[in-house]
A and B are shown apart, each in its own frame.
Chain A
Amino acid sequence: MIGWLRHQKHALTCALRRLLAQPMATLLTTLAIGVAISLPSGLYLMLDNLNRLAGDLPAQPEISLFLNADVSPAQQQAIAARLKQADIAQARHVPKEQALTALSASQGLTDITAGLAENPLPDAWVVRPQASTREELARVADALGKLPGVAETHLDSQWAERLQAALAIGRTGVWLLAGLFGFALVAISGNAIRAQVLARRDEILVSRLIGATNRHIRRPFLYLGALQGLLGGLAAGGVLAIAGGVLRAPVAHLAGLYGSSFHLLPPTGLAIAAVLGLTTLFGWLGAWFSVARTLHQVEAAR
Chain B
Amino acid sequence: MISFSQVTKRYPGGHEALSGVNLAIEKGEMVFLTGHSGAGKSTLLKLIAAIERPTSGVVSVSGQNISRLSRHAVPYLRRNIGLVFQDHKLLFDRNVIENVVLPLDIAGLERRESLKRARAVIDKVGLLNREKANPISLSGGEQQRLCIARALVSRPALLLADEPTGNLDAGYAADIMAMFRDFHQVGTTLVIATHDDRAISALGGRTLHLDHGKVVEVAA
Contact = CB atoms under 8 A, between A and B. Distances in A.
Interface of A: 3, 6-7, 10, 202-203, 205-214, 216
Interface in B79-116: 79, 83, 89, 91, 93, 102-103, 105-108, 110-111
A209 B79 contact: no
Contact of B91 (A3, A203, A211): A203
B78 A209 contact: yes
A93 B38 CA distance: 105
Interface in B16-74: 49, 51, 72
Which 7 pairs show the lowest CB-CB distances between chains A and B? A211-B79, A211-B78, A213-B75, A212-B106, A211-B75, A210-B103, A3-B108
Contacts of A209: 49, 51, 78, 83, 89
Contacts of B76: 211
A6 B110 contact: yes
Given A202-B91, A213-B72, A207 B106 contact: yes
7 contacts: A10-B108, A202-B89, A209-B51, A209-B78, A210-B102, A211-B106, A213-B72
A172 B77 CA distance: 54
B145 interface: no
Given A6-B110, A211-B79, A213-B72, A206 B105 contact: no
B75 A10 contact: no
Interface residues of B, number: 23
Contacts of B111: 10
Contact of B106 (A202, A205, A210): A210
B76 to A, nearest CB: 7
A6 to B, nearest CB: 5
A212 B75 contact: yes
Nearest to A207: B106
Nearest to B151: A210
B150 interface: yes
Given A205-B89, A210-B83, A211-B103, 5 more contacts: A207-B106, A209-B78, A210-B103, A211-B75, A211-B154
Contact of A216 (B49, B51, B106, B154): B106
A211 B108 CA distance: 11
Nearest to B82: A210
A38 to B, nearest CB: 34
Nearest to A302: B51
A210 B78 contact: yes
Interface in B193-210: none
Interface string B156-171: 0000000000000000
A211 B107 contact: yes
Contacts of B83: 209-210
Nearest to A14: B105
Interface in B103-133: 103, 105-108, 110-111
A212 B108 CA distance: 10
Which of A3, A6, A205, A209 has the largest count of B CB atoms less than 10 A from its CB? A209
A212 B93 CA distance: 18
